[in-house]
Every structure is written in structure tokens, then in C-alpha cells.
């Protein structure tokens, strides 16, 4: 009997990711030193056991997107919350810790990690659909935060230009997305036809074509799920704003936050997460971006850097949970693979 192997662990670390990690670490060290290590440690002490509240709020975020993934499943597979939650945590751990893994591995990893429970294509199409809804919600969220930043605060010329460009890009991307859904434009199918004309046969493109069909089919037959899914994505963002607000309430006693400033800081965090996925834990770039915007919002740069560090501590907590789950999964698969051999061995002994 052939031994079952988990091939998912065979990923490669991109040189770009390694460079991003090194530069990010250097930038992180620079901003920690510039903001003052003693001052940062003092603010972290102010947070204290409040970090448990941060973990609780971040749990709401994991739960919200897990349920959104479940709602995106088609009729060919049933996804239970336990499997969705575990797969999300394990996939995010890979994306946070492996250089350049977020875009290429982290999301496809989630259905791969539960393929023994849910048909792979069902899980993959569902996570793709959930990410489309998530991307739309991020667009609306970041757009709102950028508008609030432009209208309520005086920005340096460079940041104002960047904010305006971001707004234009969001409108363009969301518009293109709506056009694709309305017209059901088959981009992948067109590429497959082009490849076949050249005498090539790329299996991966065939699967991508099937995935494209599943996405459009879901959009055509499950419109009643759109509002619940978008509500769950909104809960994810609302929990993120609450997390920022609670953190600032602890670490910025002299200048308490408002819900608006927390909203803007979380929208900036979404932009950083998207733009710098290849940098593990957004090391350095989060401190730079959050610290810079914090000063515009009348906080100190130290407060912004501390906020970014607290986010890293939260991500490291969930990454540790994800690694433990990955380890448990490996042991479980190994035990299942060895089980038939042990059964055969027992039967042979009984005969003797």
C-alpha cells in the first residue's frame, strides 16, 4: 500500500521575499530606534493585559471571514466552521511567516489544507469567491478612509497626491470588477483557446478555466447570499477598527482616539497589507506608514510605531496557533497513513 504524503509543504521561498524581509527588518529597526525603544516599551506596558482584548477582537475577524467562506461554497461540497476556521488560521500563518508566500500560497493553501474533508475545486472556488467579496469590501473601506483623510485633515502635498491616486485606482478596479461580473467575460477561457491554437496543453490553465466558470455560476445562482457575505466582510473591517480604537485607548492616554481616527488608521493598514504582502508581517513598512499617518492625526510617531508592533504581536499569536494546527494536521495524516499497515500486522498475528 502506498504511503499517503502531504505535498503541500514543498513551497519555495522567493528571493524577492527574502530581500523584502531583510529591508523590512532594517526599516523596522530604524523606526524603533527613531521612536525610542524605551518609549515604545512604556506604551506596551500600558497595554498590558489589554492585549487579551486585542486577541478576542481579532478572533471575531477570523470567525467572520470563516463564515463568509462557508457561504461561498457551492452544492458540490459542505464546509464546516471548524474546518474553515482551522484552514484560515493555518493559511494565514504561512502567509505571515514565509517570505513572498501571501499572494502565491496563503490563499490556495486554505482549501488544500482541508482537501481530505472538502472537494478541492469546491474549496478553491469558494475561497476565490470569498476573496472577491473581500476585495470589494476593502475597496469600499479604503475609499471611505481616504475620503475622510482628505476632507478632515491637512495632508502634505505628496501624501495628498498618493491618496488621490489611490481613490482613482479603487474606482477603476471596482468598475472593472463589476464589468466582468455583469458581462461574464471569460478571460481565462480565452487564454486557454490561445494556448491550444499554439499546440500547447497546460493543465493548470484548464483548472483555472473551470474555476472561472464556478465563480460566474455562483454569481448567477446565489445572489441572495451577497448581502450576508458582505455583512460578514463588514464585520471583519469593523472589528479591525475596534481593535485599533481599543489599542489606542490603552497606549495613548494623553490623546485618546476617536472612532474616525481609528477608522483611518485601519484603512491605511489595509493598504499596507495589500501593497506589501511580500514582506513577512509587513515588517518596517507598517511602522513607517502607521507612524507617518499617526502624526497627521495628531498622535505621536511613537504611538503609531507601537500600534504597528502590537499588530505584529497579534499576528505572531495567530501564526503560532496556525503552526500548531499544521503540526497537528501532519501528525494526523501520518497516523492515518500508517493505520492500514498496523491493521494488516494485527491480522497476521491473529492468524499465527
| pLDDT score of 40 more than 60 | yes
Cell of 296: 497627521
Judge whether 134 lies within some domain. Answer: yes
Query: What range defines the domain where residue 261 resides?
Result: 16-338
List, for residues 167-211, the tens digit of each pLDDT value.
999 999 989 888 888 887 777 666 666 666 665 555 666 677 778
Judge whether 96 lies within some domain. Answer: yes
Percent of the chain with pLDDT over 90: 51
Among the ranges given (15-29, 281-295, 315-329), the one the predictor scored with the smallest mean pLDDT? 15-29
Judge whether 86 lies within some domain. Answer: yes
CA pair distance 60, 108, nearest whole angstrom: 22
**Average pLDDT of 47-73?**
96
The pTM (predicted TM-score) of the whole model is 0.86
Judge whether 29 lies within some domain. Answer: yes
List, for residues 129-140, the tens digit of each pLDDT value.
999 999 999 999
Neighbours of 255 (CB within 10 A): 13
Q: What angle do CA 55, 60, 63 make, to 5 degrees?
A: 120
pLDDT at residue 103 in the model = 52
List, for residues 112-170, the tens digit of each pLDDT value.
998 888 888 899 999 999 999 999 999 999 999 999 999 988 888 888 898 999 999 99
Percentage helix, strand, coil, to 5, in the chain?
80, 0, 20
DSSP H helices in 1-119: 15-35, 37-47, 50-71, 81-97, 107-112
CA pair distance 123, 287, nearest whole angstrom: 35
Judge whether 6 lies within some domain. Answer: no
Judge whether 7 lies within some domain. Answer: no
- H helix or E strand, kind and range, residue 128: helix 120-152
Asked if 257 and 244 count as a contact pair (C-beta separation under 8 A), the reply is: yes
Cell of 348: 497476521
Judge whether 204 lies within some domain. Answer: yes
Judge whether 51 lies within some domain. Answer: yes
Question: How many domains in the chain?
Answer: 1
Cell of 276: 506589501
Amino acid at each position: 500500500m502506498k504511503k499517503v504524503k502531504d505535498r503541500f509543504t514543498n513551497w519555495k521561498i522567493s528571493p524577492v521575499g527574502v530581500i523584502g524581509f531583510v529591508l523590512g527588518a532594517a526599516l523596522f529597526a530604524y523606526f524603533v530606534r527613531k521612536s525610542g525603544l524605551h518609549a515604545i516599551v512604556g506604551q506596551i506596558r500600558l497595554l498590558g493585559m489589554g492585549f487579551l482584548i486585542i486577541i478576542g477582537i481579532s478572533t471575531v475577524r477570523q470567525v467572520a471571514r470563516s463564515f463568509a467562506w462557508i457561504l461561498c461554497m457551492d452544492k458540490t461540497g459542505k464546509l464546516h466552521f471548524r474546518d474553515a476556521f482551522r484552514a484560515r488560521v493555518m493559511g494565514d500563518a504561512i502567509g505571515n511567516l514565509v517570505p513572498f508566500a501571501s499572494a502565491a500560497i496563503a490563499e490556495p493553501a486554505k482549501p488544500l489544507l482541508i482537501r481530505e474533508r472538502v472537494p478541492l475545486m469546491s474549496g478553491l472556488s469558494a475561497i476565490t469567491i470569498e476573496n472577491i467579496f473581500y476585495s470589494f469590501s476593502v475597496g469600499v473601506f479604503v475609499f471611505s478612509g481616504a475620503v475622510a483623510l482628505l476632507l478632515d485633515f491637512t495632508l502634505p502635498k505628496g501624501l495628498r497626491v498618493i491618496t488621490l491616486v489611490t481613490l482613482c485606482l479603487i474606482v477603476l478596479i471596482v468598475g472593472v470588477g463589476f464589468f466582468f461580473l455583469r458581462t461574464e467575460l471569460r478571460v481565462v477561457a480565452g487564454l486557454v483557446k490561445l494556448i491550444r491554437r499554439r499546440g500547447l496543453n497546460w493543465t493548470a490553465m484548464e483548472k483555472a478555466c473551470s474555476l472561472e466558470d464556478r465563480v460566474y455560476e455562483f454569481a448567477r445562482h446565489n445572489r441572495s447570499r451577497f448581502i450576508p457575505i458582505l455583512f460578514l466582510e463588514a464585520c471583519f473591517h469593523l472589528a479591525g477598527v475596534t481593535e485599533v480604537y481599543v489599542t489606542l485607548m490603552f497606549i495613548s492616554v494623553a490623546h485618546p482616539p476617536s472612532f474616525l481616527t481609528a477608522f483611518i488608521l485601519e484603512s491605511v493598514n489595509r493598504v499596507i497589507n495589500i501593497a506589501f504582502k511580500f514582506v513577512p508581517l509587513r515588517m518596517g513598512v507598517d511602522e513607517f506608514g502607521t507612524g507617518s499617518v499617526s502624526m497627521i492625526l495628531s498622535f505621536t510617531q511613537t504611538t503609531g510605531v507601537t500600534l504597528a508592533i502590537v499588530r505584529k504581536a497579534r499576528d505572531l499569536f495567530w501564526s503560532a496557533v496556525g503552526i500548531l494546527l499544521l503540526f497537528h494536521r501532519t501528525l494526523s495524516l501520518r497516523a492515518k497513513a500508517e493505520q492500514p499497515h498496523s491493521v494488516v500486522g494485527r491480522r497476521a498475528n491473529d492468524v499465527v
